[in-house]
Structures are given as structure tokens and as C-alpha cells.
Amino acid sequence: MSKPKVIVTRRWPQEAEARLRALFDVTLNVDDRPLDRAALQRAFRDHDAVFPTVTDRIDAEAMSAEPLRARLIGNFGVGFNNIDVAAAKARGLVVTNTPEVLTDATADLAMTLLLMTARRAGEGERHVRNKEWSGWRPTHMMGTQVTGKTLGLIGLGRIGRAMAKRASHGFDMRVIFFDPFPPPAEALQDLGAERRESIESVLAEADFVSLHCPATPENFNLMNAARFAAMKDDAILVNTARGDVVDEAALVRALADGRIAGAGLDVFAREPAVTPELLAMENVVLLPHLGSATRETRTAMGLRVIENAEAFFAGKEPRDRVA
């Protein structure tokens, strides 16, 4: 029997590409350049499975090829807001994602951003590299203490819980959260996480607010001007979820007016573009969507896409089917 014909839209870590080669008749993207619309359409027309990443917009137009050969979309990423799932279903395509394998890496990065923003690490590094440092002094570049403070989580799924664990076990933080679908009470005990009935109650109490909710239409601009006003004026926002959960213009105003103290951002509403005002703000730490970017995790993500595809082509239900 001939091997399924699959295409990946970007480079993958070596080990994952080697496994793709072993199992499939694979089209790799050796130049690592994003596919344009026409190339994406051809991908769906000429392959049994398309393995996009979170930056490929897989909408009805991308899947409009006639006849359509593709039957599977194996997203390299846990978030799948890049895929029009309804359109995929309408075209008979199965969609999978890569949960679990990136939980720890993403929570590690959320904590990195929290610490960097609180302790002014980005600003301090620029200060040293720019040769502006004139020496230690008691009032130099004072940040805000992290240990013992209150962390407010918006969303307590896998990554939110991993963040809660780091904060409570590692930094003695009190953890409060809002989630419309909270985990069972046993899962909360170990974390000592306290539930709040609304986002506003979390914002009113938290010294740090970290976003761990999906990019659904309901969560679009969830952090807006009113919600920034509801935060403490010395609080810090951390976003490793998705850019469009935050109204970036409102964030800029809140930071400029001192309504909040800082922000640590790994994701942006119009990636790779970053709202220019943010680039000029010292109290903002900016990272280029690195949440899952460890060698181990990115390899595991690729292998998880492959595991789902193997199941699919063997006629079984892929474990990470989302549509």
C-alpha cells in the first residue's frame, strides 16, 4: 500500500522530520518560508493530510480546492484558532491539535515573563548592554517583589494549572482564578487555587494577572479598557495565550496612564507586527511567541501531530481530534 501523502507548512525539528520521512510520502518546507494562499490551496488539493502551524490561516478559501484530496489537518500547536473548524467539517476534514506536550514549556515562559516584568529584567539587560550602568546603589532599578503576592489566572486549563503550581509551590503565591469551566475540586486542592465568580473579582485582587484562556470569539478583546481599569494600578499583566484576547490599544493607554504597572507579552494581535507604542515602553517585556519553543517540546509537538495522523490513516480515532 502506498504511503499517505502529507505536507508540512514550516520546518520541524530534525527528529520529527525524520519520522515524517519514515512514515509518509512527505513534502517538507526546507526553506521554512510561509506558504502563500495559492500554495496552501495546492497543499489541500495534492495531499492526504496538511500539517499547518498556528500562523497558517486555514479558512474556507484555503480548503476550497476541487477536487479536495486532503482528509486531515494536523495542526502543529495546541491553539487552533487559525483554523476555520466549521469550514473544515463542512469539507469533511478531521482536525487535530497538540495538547499536553507544551504545557510545562508554556507555563515556564509565563513565569519567565512575570518575573522579568516584575524585576525589570529586560530594562536592566538593555541598561547593561548599552553601557549605562554606573554601579550598585540602594535605589537603582527597584522592581516589585513576586514571592508571596497574589496571582490571578484567567483560565485554569492545563497551562493555567501548571502556572498555578509554579506560583504556589515555587513562589508562595496566593492563586485566584476565574474559569467558566473550572477543574474538579480535587485538582484545586494541591494548587491551593481559589475560585472567583467573575473576571472582575480576579482583577480587583491580583498583583499579577496571567491569561490562559483560548482565543474564542467570546474571548476577543477580553482584556479591554474597563478591565484594565478594574486591575490594581501596580499590577502586571502576562499574556502567553493569544494576542487578540487583549485589546492592544486599550493596553497601551492603560500602561501610558499608569492604570497598570507593566505587561509581559509573548503573543500579539497582529503577529509578527507589534503595536509600535509597546516597543517604546520600558515597563513592557516582549517576546516573539516563544511559549512552546524548547527543543524537547517542539519535537514532542511534531511527534504528536504524527501520532494523530498515524491513527487517522489506520482508521482509528486520533487522540487529539478537535473536529
Residues binding ligand DGY (CB under 6 A): 54, 77-79, 102, 291-292
Q: Which residue number, 223 or 260, has a Cβ lying nearer to ligand DGY?
A: 223
- Alpha-carbon span 273 to 123, nearest angstrom: 21
Q: Which residue number, 9 or 292, has a Cβ lying nearer to ligand DGY?
A: 292
| Side-chain-facing half-sphere of 303: CA atoms under 13 Å | 11
CB of 79 to ligand DGY, least distance (A): 3
Q: Which residue number, 160 or 291, has a Cβ lying nearer to ligand DGY?
A: 291
271 assigned to active site: yes
Cβ-based neighbours of 223, under 8 Å, separated by 6 or more:
211, 237, 239, 245, 246, 247, 250, 251
CB of 157 to ligand DGY, least distance (A): 12
Active-site option among 47, 120, 289, 304: 289
CB of 7 to ligand DGY, least distance (A): 19
Q: Which residue number, 173 or 309, has a Cβ lying nearer to ligand DGY?
A: 309
DSSP code string of 159-225? HHHHHHHIIIIIH--EEEEE-SSPPPHHHHHHHTEEE-SSHHHHHHH-SEEEE-----GGGTT-B-H
DSSP code string of 1-48? -PPPEEEESS---HHHHHHHHHHSEEE--TT-PPP-HHHHHHHHHH-S
10 assigned to active site: no
Q: Give the three-state DSSP class for 290.
A: coil
296 assigned to active site: no
- Alpha-carbon span 159 to 164, nearest angstrom: 9
Q: Which residue number, 169 or 270, has a Cβ lying nearer to ligand DGY?
A: 270
**Burial call 187-205: b when 16+ CB within 10 Å, e when fewer:** ebeebebeebeebeebbeb
Phi, psi at 308, each rounded to 5°: -65, -40
Active-site option among 271, 277, 310, 321: 271
Active-site option among 242, 259, 298, 304: 242
Q: Which residue number, 291 or 302, has a Cβ lying nearer to ligand DGY?
A: 291
| DSSP run (H or E) holding 50 | strand 49-51
For the annotated catalytic residues, the residue numbers are 242, 271, 289
